[in-house]
Amino acid sequence: MLAASCCDRRMCVCPGPRRIAIPVRSSRLPLFSDAMPAPTQLFPLIRNCEIGRIYNAVCYCHHKHLCCLSPHLAHNHLRCAPQKKLATLCPKENFHQFIHARSYVSTPQRFYLTPPQVNSILKANEYSFKVPEFDGKNVSSILGFDSNQLPANAPIEDRRSAATCLQTRGMLLGVFDGHAGCACAQAVSERLFYYIAVSLLPHETLLEIENAVESGRALLPILQWHKHPNDYFSKEASKLYFNSLRTYWQELIDLNTGETTDVKEALINAFKRLDNDISLEAQVGDPNSFLNYLVLRVAFSGATACVAHVDGVDLHIANTGDSRAMLGVQEEDGSWSAVTLSYDHNAQNESEIERVKLEHPKSEEKSVVKQDRLLGLLMPFRAFGDVKFKWSIELQKRVIESGPDQLNDNEYTKFIPPNYHTPPYLTAEPEVIHHKLRPQDKFLVLATDGLWETMHRQDVVRIVGEYLTGVHHQQPIAVGGYKVTLGQMHGLLTERRARISSVFEDQNAATHLIRHAVGNNEFGAVDHERLSKMLSLPEELARMYRDDITIIVVQFNSHIVGACQNEDF
C-alpha cells in the first residue's frame, strides 16, 4: 500500500514501519495527525527546541523534496486515516504559520552539527578488528574487519555479529535487519553463529562437548566473539537458548552420518534449525513471564540475515532476505568492480516471486505477492521469525490468546494477513553462494538494505576500495584544449578535496561508507551540511529519511589468498 517505488528513493518519506505496512493506525503518525488540529494545546508541552528541530527537518524536507513528500502524505492519509481532518494534509502551511507566530523559534542554522559532533555520531558504534599476526605473519586469509551501524529507528532494529570459530577453522560475520521490532534480530545475532558452528563441528567434538555438559565440566569454547560494547547479549534467555542449542547438537550426534560436514549444508541447516527453534519456543512458552514475552516477541518480529563464513580461500555467503554481500575486486588497471555474492529475497528478484507463487495454489497467484510485498505486507520474501506468515491462523490465535496481555494489546500481532490460506508463506532457508577467493578479491562488504538503497553497489566498492588502498584514482586534472573557467575549475577542485579529506577523517571503512551513504550530494562528494541535517533529525523523523544502516567490511589478505590458491593447484 505504501508505494514501494517511494521507498527506493533516497529521500523518501515513508511514515510507519516500512517493511510491514499495516492498514491500521501507525504508531508514528499521531504526532502529526493528533497535534495538528489543536496545535496550541500540544505545542507548549513540547520543549521549544524540540519543536524547532522538528520544524527544521520538516521544512527542509519540504523545500527539497516537495514532489516526493506532499503527494505521499496525502496518499498515506487517505488510505489509512480517513477520519483525520484536512489540516494534516498540508502541515507545511501550519508549520509556517507557527514559525511566523513564534519569532523565538530557533533559526535552522542553530541546529547544524559541527564536524566533531557529526563525527561523534558517526563513530559511536564503530568497531575494528585486526586478525592478530604471529611472528609478523598473519596466517588468516582475513586481515581484519571494520563494522559500524547508524540507527534510524529508535531503538535500532539492525544487529551485527562477528566471531572466530575456535573448534573449526574460519570466521563468521553477519548483518541482521530486524522488522516489527528488534527482538528477532537480537536473538538471531546471538544464536545463529552457535548453530552454524555446531553444524560444522565434527562428530567427535560434538561428543566431547556433550560429555562435558553432561558431567558438568568446563565447555570447550566454540566461538570467540568480536563485539562492540553496544552489542549486547541477553542474559535472561541464555539458559533457554543453550537448551535449544543442546537439543540441536544432540540430534546431530544421533544423526551422525560419518561424512565430513559440507559448509553449504551446515549453513542451511543452521538457519532452518534456528528459525524452527524460535517458532517452537514461542509455541511452548516459558514459565518465566519475562522470558515468555521475550520468545513471543522474537517469534512475532522478524529479521533477515546475511552471513559470511570465511575459511582460507573458501568464502560462503548465506543470505536470507534483502541484505547483501558484495565483493570488492580490484582489476589489473587498479580500478574497482563489484561482484554480488547474494540474491536479494524480495520482489525485485523474479525467481523469488516465481518460487513463492509455486509454493501456493494457483488461486493465490494474485494475492501472494501484491504491491511488491509478500501478501501485500512484507518486503523481504524470506526471514527469521515472522510467525504471522508461517503459522496457521489457529495456531496464531491460540498462542496470542494464551499469551501475556501485552501481546493482546498489540494490534499488529493480532492482525492476520489478508488472503492467508496456505501457510507457511515465509521461510528462513538461506541461499548459499560459494566463492573461491582470488588475490584480486580485496574485501567483502556485508550490509543491510539501508546502505544498498542509498548507494549503488559500484560506488560502494569504489569508495571502500579507494579508502582501503589510500589511493584515489583521481586522474590529475589537465586543462588541455578545453574551455574551463576559473569558477568551474574551483568547483571541481573543492569537490575533489572534500572527497580526499573525508577519507582522512575516518579510521574505519564502514564509518567512511556511512558518511558517504548519508552525506553524499549529487556529485558523489560528502556534503557536510547535508550530513549534519540528516544526523540531527529527531528520532521521530529519522526513519522517514533513511533506514538503519549496518555495515561490515572484511579485508582479505591477498598474499595468503594467493599462497593458498597456489597450494590448491
Partner 1 sequence: MFLRLLSDVRWRTASRSWRSTSSSRHMTTSAAEPPSISLPAQAQVVICGGGIVGTSVAYHLSKLGWKDIVLLEQGRLAAGSTRFCAGIVSTVRHLSIELKMADYSNKLYQQLEQETGIKTGYVKTGSISLAQTQDRLISLKRIASRLSVMGIPCEIMAPKQVAQLHPLINIHDLVGAMYVPEDAVVSSVDVSLALANAASRNGVQIHERTSISHVMVQKGCVTGVETDRGQIECQYFVNCAGQWAYELGLSNEEPVSIPLHGCEHFYLLTRPLKKPLESNTPTIVDPDGRIYIRSWQGGILSGGFEKNPKPIFTEGRNQLEIQNLHEDWDHFEPLLSSLLRRMPGLEALEIMQLVNCPESFTPDMRCILGESPTVQGYFVLAGMNSAGTSFGGGAGRYLAEWMVNGCPSENVWPLDLKRFGALQSSRTFLRHRVMEVMPLIYDLKVPRWDFQTGRQLRTSPLYDRLDAQGARWMEKHGFERPKYFVPPGKDLLSLDQSKTFYKPDWFDIVGSEVKCCKEAVCVIDMSSFTKFEISSTGDQALEVLQYLFSNDLDVPVGHIVHTGMLNEEGGYENDCSIARLNKRSFFMISPTDQQVHCWAWLKKHMPNDSNLLLEDVTWKYTALNLIGPRAVDVLSELSYVPMTPEHFPSLFCKEMSVGYANGIRVMSMTHTGEPGFMLYIPIEYALHVYNELMSMGQKYGIRNAGYYALRSLRIEKFFAFWGQDLDTFTTPLECGREFRVKLDKGTDFIGRDALMQQKQDGVCKRFTMFILEDHDTDLDLWPWWGEPIYRNGHYVGKTTSSAYSYTLERHVCLGFVQNLDEETREALVVTPDFINRGEYEIDIAGQRFQAKAKLYPFSSLFTQRRRKDEMELSGYHGK
Phi, psi at 550, each rounded to 5°: -130, 130
Q: Is 475 in the site for partner 1 (CB under 8 A)?
A: no
What's the gap between Cα 462 and its chain centre?
21
Min dist CB 524 to partner 1, Å, is 17
For residues 25 and 30, give the distance between their C-alpha atoms in angstroms, rounded to a whole number. 8
**Closest C-alpha to 452, from 348, 350, 324, 338:** 324
- Pick one of 487, 522, 567, 568: the residue that binds partner 1 (CB under 8 A): 487
In angstroms, rounded to a whole number, what is the distance separating the alpha carbons of residues 205 and 76?
A: 56
Q: Which lies closer to partner 1 via its Cβ, residue 393 or residue 477?
A: 477
One-letter amino acid at 213 equals V
Rule CB under 8 A: choose which of 230, 474, 501, 507 binds partner 1.
474
Name the minimum Å distance from CB 479 to partner 1: 5
CB of 109 to partner 1, least distance (A): 21
Among 45, 218, 255, 479, binds partner 1 (CB under 8 A): 479
Minimum CB separation from partner 1 for residue 346, in Å? 42
Cα-based distances in Å from 370 to 26, 302, 350 = 20, 19, 14
Instruction: Please pick, from the candidates 116, 254, 486, 567, the single residue that binds partner 1 as defined by CB under 8 A.
Output: 486
Cβ of residue 496: shortest distance to partner 1, in angstroms? 6
If one asks whether residue 470 binds partner 1 (CB under 8 A), the answer comes out as no
Site for partner 1 in 509-568 (CB under 8 A): none
DSSP state of 526: B
User: With respect to partner 1, which residue has the nearer C-beta, 132 or 470?
Assistant: 470
- 3-class DSSP state of 241: helix
* Phi, psi of 521, deg, nearest 5: -95, -175
What's the rounded Cα separation, in Å, for the pair 393 and 408? 15
Tally of CB atoms within 10 A around 168: 19
Nearest-approach distance from CB 475 to partner 1, in angstroms: 11
Pairing relationship of beta strands 324-330 and 441-447 according to DSSP bridges? antiparallel
C-alpha to C-alpha distance for 376 and 19, rounded to whole angstroms = 11
- Asked if residue 327 lies in contact with residue 437, where contact means CB atoms within 8 angstroms, the answer is no
Q: Which of 40, 215, 257, 485 binds partner 1 (CB under 8 A)?
A: 485
Output 216 or 481, the one with its CB closest to partner 1: 481
Q: Residue 189 CB, nearest distance to partner 1 (Å)? A: 43
CB atoms inside a 10 Å sphere around CB 45: 9
Choose the stretch contacting partner 1; rule: CB under 8 A; options: 206-214, 236-244, 474-482, 558-566. Answer: 474-482
Q: How far is the CB of 489 from partner 1 (least distance, A)?
A: 6
Q: Count how many residues are written for the chain.
A: 569
Stretch near partner 1 under the rule CB under 8 A, chosen from 85-93, 251-259, 396-404, 480-488: 480-488
Binders of partner 1 in range 490-509 (CB under 8 A):
490, 493-494, 496-497
How far is it, in rounded angstroms, from Cα 411 to Cα 422? 22
Measured distance CA(379)–CA(560) in Å, rounded: 40
- Any contact of residue 489 with partner 1 (CB under 8 A)? yes
CB of 494 to partner 1, least distance (A): 7
Which CB, 216 or 470, lies closer to partner 1? Answer: 470
For residues 299 and 387, is the Cβ–Cβ distance under 8 A? yes
Q: Report in angstroms the alpha-carbon separations of 320 from 1, 17, 85, 293.
A: 24, 20, 42, 25
Q: What is the total count of residues that contact partner 1 (CB under 8 A)?
A: 16
Q: Per CB under 8 A, which region of 16-24, 51-59, 206-214, 470-478 contacts partner 1? A: 470-478
CA 137, distance to chain mean position in Å, is 34
Of residues 169 and 490, the one with the C-beta less far from partner 1 = 490
Residue 305 grid cell: 540475515
Closer to partner 1 at the Cβ: 216 or 476? 476
Closest distance to partner 1 from the beta carbon of 495 (Å): 10
Residues 342 and 267 sit within 8 Å (Cβ to Cβ): no
- Would you say 134 or 504 has its CB closer to partner 1? 504
Residues that bind partner 1 (CB under 8 A): 474, 476-479, 483-487, 489-490, 493-494, 496-497
